Amino acid sequence: MKAEYLSKIIAELIELIDEGVYIVDQDGVGRFYNKAMASMEKVNIEDVLGKKFHEAFPDFSLNDSTMFEALKKNNATLRKQQTYKNLYGKEITTINSTIPIIADGQTVAAVEVAKDITNIRKMSDTLLELTESKHEPAAETGVHLPGSIKRYTFDDIYGENPAFRELITRAKKAARNDASVFIYGETGTGKELLAQSIHHAGSRKDRPFLAQNCAAIPETLLEGILFGTAKGGFTGAVDRAGLFEQASGGTLLLDEISAMPYDLQSKLLRVLQENYIRRVGGTKDIPVQARIIATVNEPPEELMAQGKLRKDLYYRLNVVNLWIPALRERPDDIPVLAEAFLRKHNKRFGKQLWSISDEAIDKLKQYDYPGNARELENMIEQAVSMADREHVLSDRMLTMPTFGRHTYVAERMPDRSYDMSCPLPDYLAEVEMRILREAIINAGGNISKAADALQIKRQTLQHKLKKYHISVL
């Protein structure tokens, strides 16, 4: 194949990807700038091509430029966060990887691949600013204003199962001290409910309770959210306290801690050992005294074996270990929880449902609840919201899923004998739709996990969910 044809094919492929691609020659002059990069940086392609990179982006100093590092120092830069302004003064935040192209011992070009995280960064900044502002009076009064997180206590926890009551007894004992707590429970079992109850039953109850889902934030932003940022630490950085500082004296819940990047887990371990943090890009050690509660939704032994959770971090956090049994392991609590959810949503919707029929309870007990108590509450909420003048929630008012984690084939799949009157595309669509629904439930509404389980791309799964109008839990 001729070189020019190969070059054209590569150029066409680059235009198809979602990431931005920017290529400069040995003189720093732009030679390729794809549509994704132009859309990301809000500039016209002709404003970049044929111009040196520092002319196209004058907001960058050479000392901060990954392109300069690649061309002049032969240094590759991987996954670096940068906040800068384009030619028109619009602020953009990206995660960049820039590598030098070397031929015959000389750098002949540099390639930059970038992903836009502007909206995510703004959202995280807003979150930190709001959290910080809500707790500013504490320095003077020692009293923190209530945040947006609902205050849960042990009074909000229902269950009579012996193993579950033993768990609550251990949790109440944990509330009496400041030891780190490690909670394991499947999605929907109430890990944050338990964490908040521990906080509000202890000596830190008048101090902040802050929570961060470690799976919800890109790794390049998570460090700044946890530890804060120092002005000058990276391009566009400002002085801002992170969650550790804001939660000092209170409790910090790190949800799905196994989703935290491995190297960041190492930094977290050091914080727990030394009781101080250093902001990203900063040089000052800042003492912190936040109690840490960590949660995972998979067995910690499996997570460590898979390399997702550092053993030393686990042993440091696992001072108090709390395991929340799945709802299918305590079916005797289904009536208790159902009645509690009935009271809650009866009041919310202004209905007059006084009780749940025995037939409805029996029906609820026949399902294995891959989404645990959260899924049970969704069922009750739906039934209450659709009630008219009924005073008793009957089995006919319950819309039960037609599948469960352990009864997937038997209950979910259509009859093995194919009905010839049903068009094959419709039949296959029904099968696919039901498989997608179970994957979403088993993943607790996490699209990335569901996509991994189905062995398809996240974007593909999102397209299919939209196609079938399937909502996420």
Q: Where are the domains of the chain?
A: 3-116, 120-323, 329-397, 412-467
What is the average pLDDT across 371-378? 94
Q: What is the mean pLDDT of the chain?
A: 83
Statement: residue 150 has pLDDT above 80: no
Q: For the chain, give the number of residues.
A: 473
Statement: residue 295 has pLDDT above 80: yes
What is the average pLDDT across 57-86? 79
Cα 384 to Cα 373: distance, rounded to the nearest angstrom: 16
Cα 262 to Cα 172: distance, rounded to the nearest angstrom: 31
pLDDT at 6: 67
pLDDT band at 349 (very low <50, low <70, confident <90, very high): very high
| Exposure class string for 332-349: b at 16+ Cβ within 10 A, else e | ebbbebbbbbbeebbeee
What is the average pLDDT across 225-238? 77
Identical fold at 3-116 and 120-323? no
For domain 120-323, give the CATH number.
Answer: 3.40.50.300
pLDDT band at 221 (very low <50, low <70, confident <90, very high): confident
Cα 348 to Cα 130: distance, rounded to the nearest angstrom: 28
Q: Looking at domain 412-467, does it have CATH number 1.10.10? A: yes
Give pTM, 2 decimals.
0.62
pLDDT at 56: 83
More confident residue, 200 or 423: 200
Element (H, E) at 262: helix 262-274
Looking at 1.10.8.60, 3.40.190.10, 3.30.930.10, 3.90.930.12, the CATH number of the domain 329-397 comes to: 1.10.8.60
286 class by beta-carbon count within 10 Å (0-12 exposed, 13-18 middle, 19+ buried)? middle
Statement: residue 145 has pLDDT above 70: no
Count of CB atoms situated within 10 Å of the CB of 193: 17
Please check whether residue 86 is in contact with residue 39, taking contact to mean a CB–CB distance below 8 angstroms: no
**Homologous superfamily, domain 3-116:** PAS domain (3.30.450.20)
Statement: residue 228 has pLDDT above 80: yes
Lowest model confidence (mean pLDDT) among 355-369, 374-388, 393-407: 393-407
pLDDT at 422: 62
